[in-house]
Structure 1
Amino acid sequence: MSRDIFFVSNTTDELGGVTGWTHQTARLFAQQGHRVHVVGIHSADLTMALPEQPAHPVTALYPAHPPTPWTPHGLRDRFRLPTRRGEAARVASKKEAVARLSELFATARPGAVVIVTQVWAMEWVSEADTSGLRVIGMSHESYDYSRAGHRYRWIRNQYRDLDHWLVLTEEDADRWAADGMNNVGFLPNALARLPVLPSPRTARTVASIGRLCDQKAIDLLLDTWALVAPARPGWTLRVYGAGEDEAALKAQCTALGLDGSVEWMGRTDDVEGALAKSSVFVQSSRGEGFPLALLEAMASGVPCAAFDCAPGVREIVRDGEDGLLAPAGDVAALADRLLRLTGNPRLRDAMGTRARSAVQRFSEPETLRRWEELFAFLER
């Protein structure tokens, strides 16, 4: 059955895993015969170059991040005319954005589905007219990471009454269900493609790929590399990515005396090429959902060392079989895993080969089959 499917995200072009996942999944649905429209609340400042131009329509409701609601502080603040005018303009602009979203939804055929990929975007969807549509919410981060921040409250407030909402692992779904969210299910991310050839794993290079922000914890990676580099002369850590923490991280790198063994590669649109030049992949995140970077590294036959910071990480990497995990935030333990992989070519090759084979259980056809089952279930 061909359906109209709307993806609604914070943005449609922001550098990051959710953007890549959104357009990848939209492409899969379109190839399946569905009519797909990707909607972002706003256009991003730090944008992501997509591997191919989307064939599906893409709409941004705002040209830039909309202003946040005004909260007056004290009686005097309530009577500041410029501020009150700015808030009135914000409210009017939001009504226009919601109306535009409702107009898009009104074009849908019976059986249409709205997939809200990030909880902040749900604020607009909840005010739009979704009559006759099935609405599915999503969270691309772990229960613990949501629980530690403001998104926990947003999820409980915004997702409780949806037709369904999805996390990325069964473990997280069980934890949300125990928290009273009985409409939750799980569905992992899909591996986009398997490179024709794996990495030869001959370069003395460790790769990290991700946004330079607090969540990805490159600061912890630098502390880790400070323990590894003295024991591995000739090895280089290549950090691929851009973000708001770049200047601070480079200063930290210099302070740790690592400028001779760390290369800042900037953002890359050729992840496959970067991995082909690497022998080990490292992920030092404070929190994750179901990280695509791990899937891509394993598909390239590059063994991974990572912090066990989320159920999705340990579902992808089977510790001791096709990669090595360290307790979340334990810099010394992550350094130990990197020393093992960089110091033992036979271990690298064995784990890389097993990783490339094992990661194919997250294939696109299997993930698409599970989505179709969910759509059929919601129509009953």
Structure 2
Amino acid sequence: MTAARDLFLVANSTDELGGVTAWTHQMARLFTSAGHRVHVIGVHESDLKMPVPQAPGYPVTSLYERHPPTPDPPRGARRLSVPARRRESRRIAAKKRAVAALESILGPARPGSVVVVTQVWPMEWLREMDTSHLTVIGMSHESFAYSRACHRYRWIKRHYPHVDRWLALTQEDADIWTAEGLNNVDFMPNALAHLPAVPSPRTEKTVCSIGRLADQKGVDMLLDTWAKVAPFRADWQLHMYGAGADETQLRRQCTELGLDTSVRWLGRTDDVPGALANSSVFVQSSRGEGFPLALMEAMASAVPCAAFDCAPGVREIVRDGEDGLLAPLGDLDALADRLLRLTGNPRLRDTMGERARANVQRFSEERILELWEELFALLER
């Protein structure tokens, strides 16, 4: 029997469409079911929302109603225009109010309470308050390579040396961050959210993609890849589930490639298991990932996957050649080859699909919850 704790999950947003939001509410539900007192906190409410539980069984708080403004460039107050100085003054005042709201939640927390910062950005607010009575765990839900290529690398180097433990998603990335000079790094895989009672029969001639229509997800590369596949698979369709800012230009690209008859744009879905049950192959074309939940859900449905090997989390989940097929990142010909192999060989689909369903259960919610409890106990010593 584990000790009940106050657990605070602090994210960029509590309702933004994407995998981190899904993970946050999945873990809040798991921790609550284990007897912990959970509070989910987001920096801001999101414009592009995903469905979240209407009555989740734990409090959910946003510090801002919308994305807070970014600071003006640090050029010195005397060089800023009067409107810019006023904007900056309003931003600072709003941030003080947000820090006070966060402190009103975390300040009264019981001894042994844990704050899990699911993305590094909220540390900008957390570090402005006293957290000496709390255990703080930082996380990154993307690969080292993807963080290294953007501003989040600097944020991690600035903020995460100060937390009690910070978690990458794989041992491979944890080792890289340790080599970068951080001595408090560990890793924690994501948990498989759902194991359907009945796997996909893999009888529909459908390839499924699930993800935001944004640059990171590489949907533009997927369309270029499908243009190489479609002439050889005239009776197959690519079903695109997702929404995002790039939808208009992606649909235009689809038309320009002559794919309108073989690509269906199905929007966001609240029924991922249902989408996968009607699919025979899953494809992931991301430029960068962490430990992708959609990939695990496809495998749990016994749908074999073709994916770019874009992150350690992808090759941790998919055992290439055993339960799925990986292609080098950005190699459209290689990804097309993997899709042609899976769509053209029912026996290969069935064999890899059944292996995928069996293998992915090593990331069961029960097992991942055990790992979290072990970590909490370790940090309390």
TM-score bucket of the superposed structures, by smaller chain = over 0.9
User: Do structure 1's residue 286 and structure 2's residue 274 form an aligned pair?
Assistant: no
Please tell me the residue identity of whatever aligns with 1:335. Answer: A
Q: How does 1:182-193 map to 2 (within 5 A)?
A: 182-193=183-194
Q: How does 1:129-208 map to 2 (within 5 A)?
A: 129-208=130-209
What's 1:221 paired with?
Answer: 222
Specify the SS of the correspondent of 2:198.
Answer: coil
What's 1:267 paired with?
Answer: 268
Give, in angstroms, the shift of residue 107 of structure 1. 2.3
Contact 1:51–1:269 (CA<8 Å) still a contact in 2?
A: no
What are the superposed Cα offsets for residues 157-177 of structure 1, whole Å, 9 maximum, x if unpaired? 010121000010000000100
- State the distance in 1 between where 2:93 and 2:177 align: 35
Specify the SS of the correspondent of 2:353.
Answer: helix
- State the distance in 1 between where 2:179 and 2:333 align: 34
Compared CA separation, residues 183 and 74, structure 1 to 2 (3 A) = closer
Please tell me the residue identity of whatever aligns with 1:351. Answer: M
- State the distance in 1 between where 2:214 and 2:263 align: 17
Higher mean C-alpha displacement, 177-186 vs 69-78: 69-78
Compared CA separation, residues 277 and 369, structure 1 to 2 (3 A) = same
Please tell me the residue identity of whatever aligns with 2:36. Answer: H
Give, in angstroms, the shift of residue 77 of structure 1. 4.6
Give, in angstroms, the shift of residue 129 of structure 1. 2.3
Specify the SS of the correspondent of 1:66.
Answer: coil
What's 1:41 paired with?
Answer: 43
Compared CA separation, residues 71 and 297, structure 1 to 2 (3 A) = same
Specify the SS of the correspondent of 2:325.
Answer: strand
Please tell me the residue identity of whatever aligns with 2:67. Answer: H
What's 1:349 paired with?
Answer: 350
Compared CA separation, residues 135 and 282, structure 1 to 2 (3 A) = same
What are the superposed Cα offsets for residues 32-57 of structure 1, whole Å, 9 maximum, x if unpaired? 11000000000000001136641110
Specify the SS of the correspondent of 1:22.
Answer: helix
Specify the SS of the correspondent of 1:71.
Answer: coil
Specify the SS of the correspondent of 2:343.
Answer: helix
- State the distance in 1 between where 2:364 and 2:185 align: 23
Higher mean C-alpha displacement, 48-57 vs 151-160: 48-57
Specify the SS of the correspondent of 2:109.
Answer: coil
Specify the SS of the correspondent of 2:121.
Answer: helix
Contact 2:206–2:239 (CA<8 Å) still a contact in 1?
A: yes
What's 2:20 paired with?
Answer: 18
What are the superposed Cα offsets for residues 47-82 of structure 1, whole Å, 9 maximum, x if unpaired? 01136641110000000000111126689852x222
What's 1:4 paired with?
Answer: 6
- State the distance in 2 between where 1:83 and 1:265 align: 43
Please tell me the residue identity of whatever aligns with 1:23. Answer: H
- State the distance in 2 between where 1:302 and 1:67 align: 42
Contact 1:321–1:351 (CA<8 Å) still a contact in 2?
A: yes
Specify the SS of the correspondent of 2:313.
Answer: helix
What's 2:362 paired with?
Answer: 361
Compared CA separation, residues 75 and 312, structure 1 to 2 (3 A) = closer
Give, in angstroms, the shift of residue 87 of structure 1. 0.9
Contact 2:77–2:85 (CA<8 Å) still a contact in 1?
A: no
What's 2:213 paired with?
Answer: 212
What's 1:56 paired with?
Answer: 58
- State the distance in 2 between where 1:61 and 1:74 align: 28
- State the distance in 2 between where 1:18 and 1:74 align: 36
What are the superposed Cα offsets for residues 86-110 of structure 1, whole Å, 9 maximum, x if unpaired? 1101100100100110110022111
- Identity level (%): 69
Specify the SS of the correspondent of 1:136.
Answer: strand
Contact 1:105–1:129 (CA<8 Å) still a contact in 2?
A: no
What are the superposed Cα offsets for residues 175-211 of structure 1, whole Å, 9 maximum, x if unpaired? 1001111100001000012001001100010000000
Contact 2:207–2:283 (CA<8 Å) still a contact in 1?
A: yes
TM-score (norm 1): 0.98
Contact 2:303–2:353 (CA<8 Å) still a contact in 1?
A: yes
Please tell me the residue identity of whatever aligns with 2:221. Answer: L
* Gap regions ≥5 residues in structure 1: none
Give, in angstroms, the shift of residue 128 of structure 1. 2.1
What's 1:30 paired with?
Answer: 32
Specify the SS of the correspondent of 2:378.
Answer: helix
What's 1:87 paired with?
Answer: 88
Please tell me the residue identity of whatever aligns with 1:332. Answer: D
Contact 2:306–2:338 (CA<8 Å) still a contact in 1?
A: yes
Q: How does 1:230-241 map to 2 (within 5 A)?
A: 230-241=231-242
Specify the SS of the correspondent of 1:119.
Answer: coil
Q: How does 1:324-335 map to 2 (within 5 A)?
A: 324-335=325-336
Compared CA separation, residues 74 and 108, structure 1 to 2 (3 A) = closer
User: Do structure 1's residue 70 and structure 2's residue 55 form an aligned pair?
Assistant: no
What are the superposed Cα offsets for residues 217-241 of structure 1, whole Å, 9 maximum, x if unpaired? 0000001000000000110001100
- State the distance in 2 between where 1:72 and 1:371 align: 40
Contact 1:50–1:269 (CA<8 Å) still a contact in 2?
A: no
Compared CA separation, residues 2 and 74, structure 1 to 2 (3 A) = closer
